[in-house]
Amino acid sequence: MDPDQPSFRLIRTNKGGEKMLEGGYLYLMHRRVGEMTHWQCEQRGECKARVHTKGMEIVKRTNEHLHAPDVQATACCEIKAGIKRKARDTQDSSHQIIGEGMLTASEGTAAKLPKLDSLKRTIQRQRASVLSAPVQPTALAELVLPAEYQRTAKGEQFLLYDSGEDDAHRFLIFGTQRNLGMLQQSKIWLADGTFKTAPPLFAQIMNVRDHGIAVRSKAIGMLEAGVPLKDVALRLGVGLRSIKRWWAAAKCGHSLETKARSGRPKTLNRAAKIVIAKSLEKRRHSTRNIAKSLAEKGYSASSSTAYRHLTKNLGARAFKRPQIPRITERVKGNRLLFAHNHKDWTIEDWRKVLWSDESPFELFSTPNRQNDRVWSKNGKDISPVFKVKFPAKVMVWGMMSYRALSELHIIPQKQSVDAAYYRDNILGVTCLDAIIRSSKQVALWKDQCC
């Protein structure tokens, strides 16, 4: 292990205390003694394991744990703590925070994390607990923006318009006077809505920008003249990241045109795609099962989404699992023996063979309901099929050879075909009749000969 890296991690608890994670065990703080901190195993009732730390070093251990370490549980704790910290310290969207947390999780850990909705609530609670963040309102009319949220960090007015508490379709417009001035001068406005980052109560965030070719080419011109990136960003009132992106694109010789983007947010994020790809490699699930396991991991994706990703992006196709008869060693031996014994038979020999079999026929039923589908715009004009509750089944026996064809022998209802029935009714009557008609010497094979 890297000696500079402490072997344990500290995480903050809700009540402002600390927990310690080490080697798959979770410790609660017991007390501080001078520079030392005493920790006790979280299962302090039963387990007597204790650890003393000084700074970021473990200086003393007492008692062994009475239970196995749970690496996934402690990893889970750490990820949750990271999500809470980001909720308090950043303005990132819940999706972004959870997504970043999930990326570091192994599959096993991800499965142990709380559901997506509960993580989102955790984030909201953390934000509500930070004094400056207003509590999530439950109705649009209740939304009151505190003064500090109406201005930019530099103190400029940022809230430009509020349609008012009485408006059932309330909307807010944010922007600065300088941005408005830029829009006014620009020939091209780009507008795009995003649903994903919109806070609850609001349907979407609509983004209106210019950043048209004029602004871009101006920026590139200034950069080529040697003006530093930061100054260009400041002078044009464009974000530094945009300027950097344009500059990188210009250096690669890309066009200044803004590319069209697809409108609907993607349902599958990177982590969900990994889950699907893994199921393709290892376990070969049906899309229904994939959708189910995605839901268990907190991603919402339907089976058709999984289907689309598998077919279009991963190049997979759906196959029916082939069914092959399970053959015992004894049957294999018999078949091999049969093949050996008859491998030198001539066509003339085979012409002496009678082939026979019986088969059940079910009256009034569709063999496979899956194939009995019709397409229509409404379900009303579809003619139904009659379903007979206990459809009649008949057992039919037949025989053929090179020279003869037997009559069909229909076995009466509830008649079990035992040796006596077979001999007296099938061989003795139907079969004999056919043999006499062909009047040749023949060998007889029943289907179960081997």
Contact 412, 397 (CB under 8 A): no
- Least distance from Zn ion to the Cβ atom of residue 48, Å: 8
Nearer to Zn ion by Cβ, of 22 and 358: the residue is 22
Nearer to Zn ion by Cβ, of 41 and 182: the residue is 41
**Is residue 51 close enough to count as binding Zn ion by CB under 5 A?**
no
Nearer to Zn ion by Cβ, of 47 and 141: the residue is 47
b vs e for 216-255, b when ≥16 Cβ sit within 10 Å of the residue's Cβ?
beebbebbeeeeeeeebbeebebeeebbeebbeebeeeee
Sequence-ordered strand ranges (E) for 259-369: 353-362
- Least distance from Zn ion to the Cβ atom of residue 156, Å: 55
The secondary structure of residue 386, as a DSSP letter, is: -
Question: 389 vs 370, 379, 384, 386, CA distance in Å?
Answer: 18, 23, 15, 9
Q: Which stretch binds Zn ion (CB under 5 A): 39-47, 99-107, 133-141, 311-319?
A: 39-47
Total residues at interface with Zn ion (CB under 5 A): 4
Side-chain half-sphere exposure of 71, counting CA atoms within 13 A: 5
**Is residue 219 close enough to count as binding Zn ion by CB under 5 A?**
no
Contact 40, 30 (CB under 8 A): yes
DSSP string, 295-319: HHTT----HHHHHHIIIIIS-----
**Is residue 65 close enough to count as binding Zn ion by CB under 5 A?**
yes
**Is residue 306 close enough to count as binding Zn ion by CB under 5 A?**
no
**Is residue 285 close enough to count as binding Zn ion by CB under 5 A?**
no
**Is residue 21 close enough to count as binding Zn ion by CB under 5 A?**
no
**Is residue 140 close enough to count as binding Zn ion by CB under 5 A?**
no
How many CB atoms are closer than 10 A to CB 25?
23
Q: Which stretch binds Zn ion (CB under 5 A): 4-12, 63-71, 193-201, 356-364?
A: 63-71
Nearer to Zn ion by Cβ, of 24 and 134: the residue is 24
**Is residue 404 close enough to count as binding Zn ion by CB under 5 A?**
no
Nearer to Zn ion by Cβ, of 62 and 177: the residue is 62
> Of residues 11, 20, 26, 41, which one binds Zn ion by CB under 5 A?
41
**Is residue 76 close enough to count as binding Zn ion by CB under 5 A?**
no
**Is residue 44 close enough to count as binding Zn ion by CB under 5 A?**
no
Across the chain, which distance is largest between two alpha carbons, in Å? 112
- Least distance from Zn ion to the Cβ atom of residue 10, Å: 18
**Residue listed under structure tokens 């959870």:** 98
The secondary structure of residue 50, as a DSSP letter, is: E
> Which helix or strand (DSSP H or E) is residue 393 part of?
strand 393-401
Nearer to Zn ion by Cβ, of 10 and 160: the residue is 10
Residue 448's Cβ-count burial label (10 Å; 0-12, 13-18, 19+) is exposed
- Least distance from Zn ion to the Cβ atom of residue 71, Å: 14
**Structure tokens of 236?**
């044009």
Nearer to Zn ion by Cβ, of 65 and 218: the residue is 65
> Of residues 10, 28, 29, 47, which one binds Zn ion by CB under 5 A?
47
**Is residue 30 close enough to count as binding Zn ion by CB under 5 A?**
no
Q: Which stretch binds Zn ion (CB under 5 A): 41-49, 185-193, 209-217, 331-339?
A: 41-49
Nearer to Zn ion by Cβ, of 63 and 366: the residue is 63
Contact 223, 215 (CB under 8 A): no
Q: Which stretch binds Zn ion (CB under 5 A): 1-9, 43-51, 154-162, 267-275?
A: 43-51
How many CB atoms are closer than 10 A to CB 271?
19
Q: Give which of 123, 133, 89, 111 is closest to 275, Cα–Cα.
A: 111
> Of residues 11, 20, 21, 49, which one binds Zn ion by CB under 5 A?
49
Nearer to Zn ion by Cβ, of 41 and 236: the residue is 41
Residues that bind Zn ion (CB under 5 A): 41, 47, 49, 65
